[in-house]
């Protein structure tokens, strides 16, 4: 992904399981959740780039899916940004 001056070149690693079952639910709301998670990951990567501590660092988002059991699918969105500050 490449954006404007406020963004960073991001490597996206997408590992999708094969033959996942259909998910019942509100597709628009589920999509909105995924978009918020990805936007938060991008914000975290931008913050990490602005800290500029590691020249070998590659901003990355991992998106993975797996079928946990016949009735459950796991969807994971992860990044290597700055993370959430402890409170």
Other C-beta atoms lying within 10 Å of the C-beta of residue 45: 25
Residue 36 three-state SS: helix
Distance of alpha carbon 47 from alpha carbon 30, whole angstroms: 26
Specify if 65 maps to a domain. no
Higher pLDDT, 41 or 83: 41
CB 63 within 8 Å of CB 15: yes
What local confidence, expressed as pLDDT, does residue 71 receive?
86
Confidence tier at 6 by pLDDT (50, 70, 90): low
Phi, psi of 46 (to 5 degrees): -65, -45
Residue 61 domain-assigned?
no
CB 34 within 8 Å of CB 14: no
Residue 24: per-residue pLDDT: 85
Full domain range(s) for residue 16: 1-53
- Highest mean pLDDT range out of 6-20, 39-53, 63-77? 63-77
Q: Residue 48 domain-assigned?
A: yes
Q: Is the pLDDT of residue 4 over 70?
A: no
């Amino acid at each position: 992904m490449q954006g404007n001056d406020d963004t960073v070149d991001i490597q996206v690693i997408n590992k999708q399981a094969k033959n996942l079952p259909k998910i019942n639910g509100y597709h628009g709301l589920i999509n909105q959740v995924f978009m918020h998670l990805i936007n938060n990951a991008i914000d975290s990567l931008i913050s990490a780039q602005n800290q500029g501590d590691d020249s070998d660092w590659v901003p990355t988002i991992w998106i993975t899916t797996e079928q946990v059991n016949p009735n459950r699918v796991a969807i994971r969105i992860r990044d290597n940004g700055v993370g959430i500050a402890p409170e």
